[in-house]
Homo-oligomer: A and B are copies of this chain.
Amino acid sequence: MDPLLAKAIVVAASAVGAGLAVIAGIGPGIGQGFAAGKAVEAVSRQPEAQGLVIRTLLVGCGVAETTGIYGLFIALALLFFNPLVNLL
């Protein structure tokens, strides 16, 4: 088989894989929005706690972000330093 065709198949599948990977971002998007909603609720009830609320929100969102970053990392790996092509 032609090595070029082999490469083309792998690289093409990497493009689809990169797109699929960042779909993981659905999760943090929903979760962080929920947390933001609860933070809004909290600061409106206790305005004096705003600093505390936003700090807690950011800690929680930082944790929730991780899986989105996993998706981004896999997508970037597939696009910019594709390790699969070297396996051929």
Contacts and interface: CB of A to CB of B under 8 A. Distances in A.
Interface residues of A, number: 82
Nearest to A45: B44
Of the listed residues A11, A30, A77, A87, the one surrounded by the most CB atoms of chain B closer than 10 A to its CB is A11
A19 to B, nearest CB: 3
Given A33-B60, A38-B38, A15 B10 contact: yes
A83 B68 CA distance: 22
A67 to B, nearest CB: 3
Of the listed residues A19, A45, A73, the one surrounded by the most CB atoms of chain B closer than 10 A to its CB is A19
A24 to B, nearest CB: 4
A55 to B, nearest CB: 8
